[in-house]
C-alpha cells in the first residue's frame, strides 16, 4: 500500500472529510462495543444456564476458589474465537484494502459483523454462538485494518491526527456503552443477553449504510490506476481545485511502494531502523502484558470473583469504562501540551501503582 504523504498541501477541512471520518470511525464503536459486551454477558446467569450449565452450577453451588468457577474451555473458546478470527482476517483484509479499496473493505467488515450479530442474538446452541463470534472477529479484523487507513488517507496532513483520534475515542465509548447496556439488560429475564449481543448491530448498520455515502480515498483510487477518479476525490476532500502537487506526491509514493518487494525483510535487515522497530514493538507487547484487555473484556466476571454481586460487578464495569473514556479525552487534549513521552511515563507509573494495589486487594491465603 502506498504510504500517505506527510507534507502540508493546500486543503480545507471540508464537510465531506468530517462526514467520511465520523462514519468510518464507527468501526471503532463496533470493536469497542464487542470488547465491553462479552464480559457482562458471560456473567449473566441466563446466558450461562443456556450454553454453559456446568459453569452456572459451579458459580452457584461449588465451594472451591472463586477463580475456578469460570474455568471452562468452551467458555474460553467463546471469548478467544473472536480474536483468533480477527488475527487471521486482518491479513486477508490487507489484501482486500489494496485490491478492492478501503471503502469496500469497510463494507465487508460491516457485513461480517452483521452476520455475527444475527447468529449471536438468535443462538440456540453453542455452534451458532461460536460461529457468530468468528464472524464478529472477521468484521473486527477487516474494520481495524481498513478504518485507520481510510481516515489517514481521506484527511489532509494538517487534519489527519485530530480525525484519527475519532477511531480510538469511539472504541472507548463503545466499551462504555456496552457496559451500560449490560447493566440494564442483566435484569431482563431470560433474554437480556440476546439484547446485549444484538445491540452490536447498530454501529455495524451505521457503518454499512454510511459507507454508501462516502467517497473512496484518493490514494486508493490512484494506486489502483483510477487516476481521474482519484483527482476528483482529491478536489472533493481537499475543497480546492489545485491538487496537482499532492496528486504528484501520491503517485511518487505509490511508485516507491511498488518498488519495495519485501518491506518486512528490509525493515528487519536495515540496522538504522532497529531502534524505532524495537521501541514500537516493545511498547505494543508491554501494553498487552499490562492486562488491560483482560480487565476490559472480563471486568464483570473479575469483579464477581472478587466477591461483588451481579449488579455491583456490572456497575463497577460501567465505572471502569467511564474512566477509560475520560482518560482518552484527557490524552487527546493533553498530548500537544505535555508531549507523548511525558504522558507515556505518567501512564506507566500510574499503571504500576494500580497493579500493585490490585495485587494487594486480590491476594488470598
- Cβ-in-10-Å burial (0-12, 13-18, 19+) of 21 comes to buried
Q: What length is written for the chain?
A: 365
Encode 91-128: b = buried (16+ Cβ within 10 Å), e = exposed. eebbebbbebbbbbbbbbbbbbbbbbbbbbbebeeeeb
Instruction: Say what the pTM is.
Output: 0.85
Alpha helices in the chain (DSSP H): 15-42, 45-51, 53-61, 73-100, 102-121, 126-154, 157-185, 192-198, 201-210, 218-223, 227-238, 244-259, 263-269, 274-289, 292-305, 310-338, 340-362
- DSSP symbol at 67: G
pLDDT at 168: 84
Residue indicated by cell numbers 472480563: 298
Residue indicated by cell numbers 472507548: 172
Per-domain boundaries in the chain = 15-259
Backbone conformation region of residue 34, classed left if phi is above 0, alpha if psi is from -120 to 50, else beta:
alpha
Give the Å distances, CA to CA, from 256 to 251, 261, 273. Answer: 9, 10, 18
Residue 145 CA to residue 49 CA, distance in Å, equals 36
| Angle between helical axes of 73-100 and 15-42 (0-180°, round to 10) | 160
Would you state the cell numbers that stand for residue 9, as one nine-digit string?
498541501
- Going by C-beta distance under 8 Å and a sequence separation of 6 or more, which residues neighbour residue 238? 9, 10, 11, 12, 14, 156, 246
Q: How far is CA 297 from the centre of its chain?
A: 12
Residue indicated by cell numbers 447468529: 119
pLDDT at 365: 46
Residue 213 CA to residue 264 CA, distance in Å, equals 35
Residue 198 CA to residue 24 CA, distance in Å, equals 21
- Going by C-beta distance under 8 Å and a sequence separation of 6 or more, which residues neighbour residue 232? none
- Which CATH number fits the domain 15-259, given the four candidates 1.20.1250.20, 3.40.250.10, 3.40.1280.10, 3.40.630.10? 1.20.1250.20
Query: Residues 107, 113, 116, 122: is their CA dihedral positive or negative?
Result: negative
Tens digits of pLDDT across the chain (365 residues) = 455 555 667 677 888 888 888 898 888 999 999 888 988 898 899 999 999 998 888 877 765 566 666 778 888 888 889 989 999 999 999 999 999 999 999 999 999 999 999 999 999 999 999 999 999 999 999 999 999 999 888 888 777 777 777 888 899 999 999 999 999 999 999 999 999 999 999 999 999 999 998 889 999 999 998 999 999 998 888 888 888 888 888 898 888 877 777 777 777 888 888 888 898 889 888 888 888 877 777 788 778 777 777 788 888 888 888 988 898 888 877 776 787 888 889 988 998 898 888 788 767 54
Amino acid at each position: 500500500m502506498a504510504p500517505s504523504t506527510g507534507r502540508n498541501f493546500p486543503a480545507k477541512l471540508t464537510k465531506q472529510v468530517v462526514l467520511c471520518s465520523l462514519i468510518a470511525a464507527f468501526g471503532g464503536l463496533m470493536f469497542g462495543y464487542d470488547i465491553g459486551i462479552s464480559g457482562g454477558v458471560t456473567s449473566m446467569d441466563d446466558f450461562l444456564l443456556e450454553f454453559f450449565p456446568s459453569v452456572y452450577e459451579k458459580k452457584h453451588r461449588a465451594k472451591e476458589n472463586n477463580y475456578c468457577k469460570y474455568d471452562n474451555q468452551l467458555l474460553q473458546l467463546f471469548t478467544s474465537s473472536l480474536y483468533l478470527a480477527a488475527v487471521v482476517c486482518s491479513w486477508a483484509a490487507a489484501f482486500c484494502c489494496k485490491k478492492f479499496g478501503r471503502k469496500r473493505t469497510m463494507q465487508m467488515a460491516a457485513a461480517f459483523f452483521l452476520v455475527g450479530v444475527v447468529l449471536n442474538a438468535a443462538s440456540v446452541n453453542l455452534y451458532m454462538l461460536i460461529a457468530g463470534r468468528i464472524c464478529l472477529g472477521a468484521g473486527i479484523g477487516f474494520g481495524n485494518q481498513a478504518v485507520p487507513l481510510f481516515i489517514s488517507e481521506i484527511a489532509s496532513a494538517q487534519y489527519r491526527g485530530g480525525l484519527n483520534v475519532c477511531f480510538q475515542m469511539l472504541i472507548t465509548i463503545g466499551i462504555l456503552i456496552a457496559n451500560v447496556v449490560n447493566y440494564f439488560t442483566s435484569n431482563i429475564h431470560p433474554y437480556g443477553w440476546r439484547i446485549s449481543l444484538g445491540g452490536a448491530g447498530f454501529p455495524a448498520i451505521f457503518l454499512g449504510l454510511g459507507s454508501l455515502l462516502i467517497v473512496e480515498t484518493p490514494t486508493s483510487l490512484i494506486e489502483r490506476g483510477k487516476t481521474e477518479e482519484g483527482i476528483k476525490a482529491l478536489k472533493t476532500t481537499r475543497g480546492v481545485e489545485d491538487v496537482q502537487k499532492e496528486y504528484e506526491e501520491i503517485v511518487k509514493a505509490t511508485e516507491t511502494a511498488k518498488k519495495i518487494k519485501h518491506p518486512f525483510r528490509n525493515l528487519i535487515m536495515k540496522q538504522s531502523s532497529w531502534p524505532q522497530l524495537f521501541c514500537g514493538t516493545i511498547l505494543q507487547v508491554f501494553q498487552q502484558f499490562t492486562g488491560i484487555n483482560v480487565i476490559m473484556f472480563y471486568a464483570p466476571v473479575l469483579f464477581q470473583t472478587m466477591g461483588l454481586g451481579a449488579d455491583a460487578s456490572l456497575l463497577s464495569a460501567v465505572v471502569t469504562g467511564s474512566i477509560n473514556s475520560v482518560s482518552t479525552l484527557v490524552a487527546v487534549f493533553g498530548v500537544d501540551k505535555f508531549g507523548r513521552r511525558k504522558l507515556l511515563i505518567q501512564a506507566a507509573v500510574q499503571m504500576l501503582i494500580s497493579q500493585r494495589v490490585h495485587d494487594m486487594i486480590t491476594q488470598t491465603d
